[in-house]
Amino acid sequence: MSTATPPVSSKLFGLFCLASYLLSLSYGSTFLLSLLIGSRGGNEQDAGSVISAAMLSTFAAVIVSGHLSDWLGAARSVALFGLLLVAASLGFALTPGFGHLLLIFGLLLGLGWGVFYTLGPIIVASLVTPAQRAKYFALLSGSMMTGIGSGPLLGRAASALGYPVTAAFYLAALASLVGVLLFWRLDRHLKTAAAQSTVVSRISWHAAARVLSSRAVFPIIMVGLGGCVFGGLSSFQTSYAAQRSLDYSLFFLGFMSAAISGRLLIAGFVVKRDPLRASCLLSGLMLASILMFGFVVDNGFNYVLAAVMLGVGYGLTYSVINGLAANEAPSGTTAQSLLLFSLSYFIGVFGFPLLAGKIIVEHGMATLLLTVMAVASLNWLITVGRLLWRRMSMAKALQRA
């Protein structure tokens, strides 16, 4: 059991969030791959293959990240594997055409992003008490979402200034390199701040079985489904916007501003509410946004509104279920639950684009939106089911009393 830890220094956590923002730019730039590969003669299915290559390497990243953290320290592990994010961004920019070499850089992206995305919340969990986790998770995820959303906006800015889309990948590589240096320097300070907490991060079959047989399995499933929605819509937003004569930067501006402001300004209030009710309401909002993308969006205003709804629904749902995954895990398995949470997310966000690209090429964008709608509906129904089950359990308990 970990002992209680005091609130982390604002300056230290601010630098940690800044480093997280800079590393996240590299992943955000991958939302431009469809545009980049299209300019080289490829299509959405080719882009989906490159993005989904990252899913294979994230399995390895999630499994080894806990061992790396125990061996090197979490921050230094993030710094070392962050170099792979730099290499991936440079590789996407420099590789001619859209051949198999891009798949290699997709694998590097998965390794770097997988270690960073998995160990970030574990670092936070070691710095603060369980009661503070949801708030600090929201601050971390808000910083990461800022970086993710800034990636495609760099591409839009580059094209507006007359530069090729590859400029965004070069800038992402530079930003990630700065993030790597920050994480390396922060390692000693983060270890000192977490000195009162003894956390074993490595995963085992026994620990995984304990987590998956507990209530933590529900947020773990939900984050995978949410990852499918986020990955499917974001990876091919350039294609969606082009078909409807819209500017794809409106989506990322609306989504990013809503997700960031939600996580940084509203999350502190939301995480104090009943998490099951909150996740039901927010996942319902996410489903409503997809209905808008499918049947309502026909101008810039509706486009931004749908993106804002998605940003609030997805962004805040993620913060709520991240806290549930940590707090509903059996005693002593918080780190392992967060590892599985990250793994489920990666399966959705990196795996689904492969299917999404194939659907677009063979059946069209409308079919993809219907598929995403079905996934979001299942995500919402899980929350409804949990609420109904709790109500039935309480009613039975009252009858026995």
pLDDT digits (tens, 9 = 90+) for 176-223: 999 999 999 988 887 776 654 445 556 678 888 999 999 999 999 999
Asked if residue 369 belongs to a domain, the reply is: yes
Q: For residue 271, is pLDDT > 70?
A: no
Q: For residue 5, is pLDDT > 50?
A: no
Stretch (H or E) spanning 96: none
Note the pLDDT tens digit of each residue in 214-231: 999 999 999 999 999 999
Asked if residue 299 belongs to a domain, the reply is: yes
| Residue where the block lists tokens 């979490």 | 74
Supply 288's token pair.
């409503």
- Give the per-residue pLDDT at 268: 67
CB 349 within 8 A of CB 110: no
Asked if residue 290 belongs to a domain, the reply is: yes
Note the pLDDT tens digit of each residue in 41-88: 888 888 889 888 888 888 888 788 877 887 888 889 999 999 999 999
Asked if residue 1 belongs to a domain, the reply is: no
Note the pLDDT tens digit of each residue in 95-111: 887 778 999 999 999 99
- Give the per-residue pLDDT at 342: 84
Task: Tally the domains of the chain.
Answer: 1
- Give the per-residue pLDDT at 219: 96
Range of the domain at 64: 10-400
Asked if residue 4 belongs to a domain, the reply is: no
Asked if residue 5 belongs to a domain, the reply is: no
- Give the per-residue pLDDT at 2: 41
Query: From residue 238, how far is each of 71, 81, 256, 363, 365 by CA, in Å?
Result: 41, 29, 15, 17, 12
Asked if residue 100 belongs to a domain, the reply is: yes
Amino acid at 234: S
pLDDT band for position 266 (50/70/90)? confident
- Give the per-residue pLDDT at 181: 97
Asked if residue 2 belongs to a domain, the reply is: no
Q: What is the Cα–Cα distance from 370 to 347, expressed in whole angstroms?
A: 20
Q: What is the Cα–Cα distance from 78 to 23, expressed in whole angstroms?
A: 10
Note the pLDDT tens digit of each residue in 356-380: 999 999 999 999 999 999 999 999 9
Phi, then psi, of 363 in degrees rounded to 5? -130, -15
Percent of the chain past pLDDT 70, that is, above it, reads: 94
Considering only 136-140, 263-267, 310-314, 338-342, which range has the smallest mean pLDDT? 263-267
Mean pLDDT across the chain: 88
Q: What is the CATH number of the domain that holds 272?
A: 1.20.1250.20
Mean pLDDT of 315-332: 86
CB 112 within 8 A of CB 305: no
